[in-house]
Amino acid sequence: MEWRSCGVPCAGFVQGEFDAAQGYALPVCMRADAPQGRYRLTVRLSARHDVQEVILFSGGRRLLWRGAMRAGEQRTVTALCMVHPVLSDNADEPAPACGIELVLVGEGVTVTGVQAESCDARAVLLMGDSTVTDQGALSPYAPGATYCGWGQMLPAFLGESACVGNFARSGLTLETFHTEGLYDLMKTQLHPGDLVLMQFGHNDQKRPHLTAEGGFARALNAYVHQLRALGAQVVLVTPLARNSWWNAREYCDLLLPFAQAMKDAAARCGAPLIDLHAFMRGLLLDTGRDAAKTLFHIGDYTHTNDFGAYRAAGFVADELARLNLTDAAPLGAWAPRPPYDVPASNQGDEALPPEGLEALYRRFEAERPDAPLTRMEALELVNRTCGLFSHNAPVALPDDIALGESYTEDVRCALQHRLIPEEMLEGGKLRRRRAMTEREFMRVLRTGYGMRCSTERMPEGGGAVITRAEAARICRRARI
């Protein structure tokens, strides 16, 4: 097998539009042609000087090893990897396996040799969503400034006991994992005796027909029975907890019904269970809302960075070992450290919010800017600014809010997140066209913003009616 050096894109890395700065590293990439299959890799590393952090990734930016090396040290890393087709979002057909890719991060460390041998290792195949999937990264690279699914951190923790095939993809539910072709693709790679780990819930809770006790539970049962018939051992994983709070002290657990549904399905089907939700929730409660942000991508309260995914994957691997399903490879702690975002040169105008939000704010400033802000418009602004979304838990709508209207989901979302004070629901009605005062608007915004950040410096506002443009400018400054 001939190995050759290459540049990015490689193994999930793409080129960023900025130069390496403190805290960023330039990855070294190499690849070799290889058909799909399972491989045992032997990678020999040499350090010219002391290096505190050396990271070795395979295709899909899946972690194979991380650690420190001393000056003059020669180290041999042995790991398993799986080369399999990938079905990207919006693709009609899977992309064929593209060989074996390796990326080394660690200035002063070089690869002195690589061997790859086909093997019949057991596989851990992953079904899930964006919190599990292989996420890319920019070069120069910083682990805190990336999105990362825990599935791509898992290989390093399994050592030589199993390889990992990650078929999770962003945005998927239990239902769309099947209808969008991921399930059929995964089954082509499944061997009798393989483990299949299944984690869903984040997107299912946004679908009316996939309630925890209804469509979600039925889909779980169907998958378990089908996969067992194919010779797989199914392990259910409760959904990764979000860094979501009612305020700085009270945790907001909107995923708890789906975690419970996973537990119920495991008990009903006699399947092993890994309660990742409870682990991550405990970690967040111990760490606290603001400190826990170092485990998540900046401005995101669902998706972990490399540090957060590493913690989650370590727990999953420990649980697999406890269940006597795989061995767990000992790896040291990976303490979060900055940077947590790419430089402003790669973001455009960093004073602006994300493009979708900026378009919303500009619409309020351009269309009837001096018109009074209505209650319904206030809910739309606050929901979007604070990154809130409705879910399929039942909630009683006000008497004057009809089902199926363009504004219905914003009202449902606001009620589910306790944004609407009781006095705004006098007589059971929202009166969505009523003008808001600045004080009323700030109260709604403080509630939503307080779920994400401290509100200590946020003014309470006065009694004058607030305009559409004024509300948009306030929201633009209130970035989460």
Tens of pLDDT along 393-411? 999 999 999 999 999 999 9
Min mean pLDDT across 13-17, 46-50, 241-245, 276-280 is at 13-17
Residue 291's SS3 state is helix
Residue 206's nearest CA partner among 476, 48, 412, 470 is 412
Q: Which residues contact 131 (CB under 8 A, 6 or more apart)?
A: 149, 150, 199, 202, 239, 240, 302, 303, 304
What pLDDT does 154 receive? 98
Report which DSSP code applies to 10.
Answer: B
> Residue 473: what residue type?
R
Average pLDDT over residues 340-358: 68
Tens of pLDDT along 8-50? 899 999 999 888 888 899 999 999 999 999 999 999 999 999 9
> Residue 442: what residue type?
M
Q: Give the integer Cα–Cα distance in Å for 323 and 317.
A: 10
Q: Which residues contact 176 (CB under 8 A, 6 or more apart)?
A: 203
Residue 388 has pLDDT above 70, yes or no: yes
* Kind plus residue range of the DSSP H or E element containing 38: strand 37-47
Residues making up the chain, counted from first to last: 480
Angle of helix 375-385 relative to helix 355-366, nearest 10 degrees, comes to 160
What pLDDT does 267 receive? 98
Q: Give the integer Cα–Cα distance in Å for 237 and 151.
A: 12
Residue 122's nearest CA partner among 57, 190, 59 is 190
What pLDDT does 351 receive? 46
What pairs with residue 235 in β-bridges?
Answer: 197
Tens of pLDDT along 407-462? 999 999 999 999 999 999 999 999 999 999 999 999 999 999 999 999 998 999 99
Tens of pLDDT along 254-265? 999 999 999 999
Complete domains list, the chain, with CATH: 4-322 (3.40.50.1110), 351-477 (no CATH)
H helices within 230-337, ranges in order? 256-269, 276-287, 306-322
Average pLDDT over residues 205-218: 96
Residue 216 has pLDDT above 60, yes or no: yes
Average pLDDT over residues 296-312: 97
What pLDDT does 444 receive? 97
Average pLDDT, the chain: 94
Average pLDDT over residues 230-245: 98
As given in the structure block, the two tokens for residue 274 are: 């890994």
Q: Which residues contact 267 (CB under 8 A, 6 or more apart)?
A: none
Q: Which residue has the tokens 């307080």?
A: 450
What pLDDT does 347 receive? 52
What pLDDT does 349 receive? 45
- Percentage of the residues of the chain whose pLDDT score is greater than 70: 98
Q: Give the integer Cα–Cα distance in Å for 209 and 193.
A: 33
What pLDDT does 97 receive? 82
What pLDDT does 353 receive? 65
Average pLDDT over residues 270-275: 98
Average pLDDT over residues 297-314: 97
Residue 354 has pLDDT above 80, yes or no: no
What pLDDT does 350 receive? 42
Min mean pLDDT across 142-146, 301-305, 354-358 is at 354-358
Tens of pLDDT along 125-182? 999 999 999 999 999 999 999 999 999 999 999 999 999 999 999 999 999 999 999 9
Residue 270 has pLDDT above 80, yes or no: yes
